[in-house]
Amino acid sequence: MKINQARQLVQQAVYEALKNLDEITISPEQVQQMVEIPKNSQLGDFAFPTFRLAKQLHQAPVKIAQNLAKEVDSSQFAQVCAQGPYVNFFLQRKDIAATTIEEVIKQKNNFGNSTVGANSVVTIDMSSPNIAKPMSMGHLRSTVIGNSIALILDKLNYHPVKINHLGDWGTQFGKLMVAYKKWGSEADVKKDPITNLQKYYVKFHKLDKEHPELDEEAREWFKKLENGDEEATQLWQWFRSESLKSFMKVYDELGIKFDSYNGEAFYNDKMDEILDLLEHKGLLQESKGAEIVDLGSDLPPALIKKSDGATLYITRDLAAALYRKRTYHFKKSLYVVGSEQSIHFEQLKAVLAKMGFTWAQDIEHIKFGLITANGKKLSTREGRVILLENVLHDSVQLAQEQIAEKNPTLANKDQVAHAVGVGAVIFHDLKNNRTDNFDFNLEEVVRFEGETGPYVQYTHARAMSILRKAGPQAQDEAAVFDTDVDDVTWDILKHLANFPETVQQAAQLREPSVIAKYALHLAKSFNHYYAQTKVLVDDDQLAARLNLVQAVAIVLKEALRLLGVQAPDEM
């Protein structure tokens, strides 16, 4: 029996028993809603609270629970008993244990898959760093959260399309061109594009206060770029491709790929249509020489076109939204972008709705919180920066040190250290509710104990090592427990059985942390089990125990995969 079927059994039993108490009218649906899972598993696998029946029955809840427990047909359960105002149900474990383990082992990494998505497209705007600037921790968050949401949706048979909306257009390119022509060198840009382009940009900003003519030159260069001037276009293309190359290094490290790199510039020739539509619908208003769309009292007006004719961030997003709808026919369109851009996305939806696009309601801003350092907001200007490349590099190095200490003879050490170091950074990000702010502390990220990625990876590797030690001749996929299933084993089993629902919940909430927390909990349960059970003793339950271990390894690895984290077999 599956655990969901067991739940139905409980509902059925309660409903039948209640029917026998003739003062009461209650529907099966009401019973269904009332059955709950006790916080403390000592109190049973399911519980039925009786508070809400007190009025109808003119009885105290405790009394009702006692009567009901007697009335319930308990033949299908290990035990049914009243405890205070609750009727507690204990399931017959053996049967559910066998079904659950068999299902996991048969389906392997497909356990938890579903067809609910019906192949419908979900576009995911994610990562989207700005050209010629370093990729920030915020962009890292967007990248790993977006990637995990894509993996989770894919498991449920949605078709995710990952779009990197690169910040590759805007007045900053004018400044960059002026700075490069004055102080730059081709060799330096080639050697380290991000650092050097950033350096030029910073220098420009240091000097332009005293030399306002610099700003004038920058404006001219940007205008040249907008008008397709050859030199300006070439420089822009070069800056873009050099920056992208260095972003690609980070994506490669993370093992993340995109379906599209259409950035802001891609929409240059697609904004006229938006402006025409807005004009045609009478939505554009003039305000101090600029064109705006008024959004009522709830939202600030959307600034569509500046007084000098330049289009803006939101204008590009309007064009991008329409382009995505036409190109991908999305069912949902997600934007994984920091909470600080909330107003922007509300405006985007509001303008699209005013334009008459009913699919505006399918746009979702998937917000996330800030990463802080020692409780303080990161700030490029104040020098509080965490450079992403350093983070990944340092994390891999720390992992290397840990492995050298714990398992010096490990084969392919470097590969494992990479999986652990990078996995640690990703997991640390994804274990928090995405809207929470969190503090970044590298040592904490890479710890093998506590609530970390390496801890989950290590638990998976431990399970794999048990299976290796046992050897294939000790294993038998058909073996089931035929003694009582103890509490610790039962805790793992219930958890395994919950995985499919957990994936669905993570998808609905667009919340990878649901999976990360699940993985931590399963790892903890398994380590608890391992500490108190001699798995590799050669008795008649050995093969059944090995099946449990295998099921845990499968689900831990799959949970990590859904986060974009690898699970080495040995570490």
Binding site for ligand ARG (CB under 6 A): 125, 128, 130, 165, 167, 317, 320, 335, 337
Residue 322 or 463: which CB sits closer to ligand ARG?
322
Using the minimum distance from each CB to ligand ARG, give the nearer residue, 91 or 144: 144
Shortest distance, position 250 Cβ to ligand ARG, whole Å:
14
Q: How far apart are CA 85 and CA 82, in angstroms?
A: 7
Residue type, 263: G
When the beta carbons of 125 and 451 are compared against ligand ARG, the nearer one is 125
Minimum CB separation from ligand ARG for residue 429, in Å? 17
Nearest-approach distance from CB 234 to ligand ARG, in angstroms? 23
Closer of 130 and 395 to ligand ARG (Cβ): 130
Asked if 350 contacts 295 with a C-beta cutoff of 8 angstroms, the reply is yes
Minimum distance between the CB of residue 464 and ligand ARG, rounded to whole angstroms? 39
Decide if 265 contacts 239 (C-beta within 8 A): no
Residue 228 buriedness (CB in 10 A; 0-12 / 13-18 / 19+): exposed
Closest CA to 113 of 57, 153, 71: 153
Rg (CA), the chain: 29
Q: Pick between residue 125 and residue 491 the one whose CB is nearest to ligand ARG.
A: 125
State in angstroms the smallest separation of the CB of 273 from ligand ARG.
Answer: 18
3-state secondary structure of 80: strand
Q: How far is the CB of 560 from ligand ARG (least distance, A)?
A: 27
Helix (H, G, I), strand (E, B) or coil at 82: strand
Query: What's the min distance (Å) between Cβ of 148 and ligand ARG?
Result: 17
Query: Which is nearer to ligand ARG, 114 or 437 (by Cβ)?
Result: 437
Q: Which is nearer to ligand ARG, 295 or 543 (CB)?
A: 295
Q: Which is nearer to ligand ARG, 95 or 259 (CB)?
A: 259
- Report the residue closest to ligand ARG, judged by CB: 167
CB of 128 to ligand ARG, least distance (A): 4
Those residues with Cβ within 8 angstroms of residue 401's Cβ, 6 or more apart along the chain or in another chain = none
Q: Which residue number, 262 or 457, has a Cβ lying nearer to ligand ARG?
A: 262
Q: What is the DSSP letter of 431?
A: T
- DSSP for 108-165 reads GGGTT---TTTT-EEEEE---PBTTSPPPHHHHHHHHHHHHHHHHHHHTT-EEEEE--
Q: Which secondary structure element, helix H or strand E, spans residue 532, and what is its range? A: helix 513-532
Nearest residue to 548 (alpha-carbon basis) of 514, 567, 522: 522
Taking the complex as a whole, how short is the minimal distance between the CB of residue 191 and ligand ARG, in angstroms?
25
* CA nearest neighbour of 376 among 385, 387, 365, 389: 385
Dmax over CA atoms of the chain, in Å, equals 91
Token pair for residue 182? 């004055």
